[in-house]
Structure 1
């Protein structure tokens, strides 16, 4: 399981690299790699802040948007039986399948 850490308003996924014996952080939502490593949580925060600052500075210097752009569309493949149950739940709730899934996703990311 991965954990998350907020560094200067940016989310980073944290995992442990057993080969290196260090924690590894990788920022999400950025338009490129800004990963970082450290041996402790405190050091990870410092390295993360340093990595993020460097990444944002380089993007600014090169005129690159540092953030990923999302279209708002994605395809999800689920078993047919789940598709049927979700469709029934949406109908019962009086909303479209898209609205039902959007509401479910919004509930999930709030937790």
Structure 2
């Protein structure tokens, strides 16, 4: 999943019947979960928006998503 440049990865937990996800292209920890794929996608986007709003309210620069590609400077 991708939203505003952030990429989310999720797995399904058979024991809890929940999808658990995490944003994988940032150093900050952003997690989300849902009971269906539709809910998981919604919660992923909400988690990014909550993170960005939190950063704005606290004067913190959000960790920018990275691509994983190396650049030669």
TM-score strictly above 0.5: yes
Determine which structure has the larger strand proportion and give its number: 2
Q: Which runs of 4+ in 1 moved over 6 A?
A: none
Higher RCO (CA < 8 A, seq sep 6+): 2
- 2:25 is the counterpart of 1:25: no
Instruction: Kindly report the root-mean-square deviation, in angstroms, between the aligned alpha carbons of the 2 structures.
Output: 2.5
- The alignment's TM-score, normalised by the length of structure 1, stands at 0.51
Larger Rg: 1
Corresponding residue of 1:43: 39
Once residues 6 and 69 of structure 1 are traced to their aligned partners in structure 2, the CA distance between those partners, rounded to angstroms, is 11
Change (3 A) 1:26 1:69: closer
Shift of 1:61: 1.2
Q: How many residues align?
A: 68
Query: Which residue matches 2:57?
Result: 61
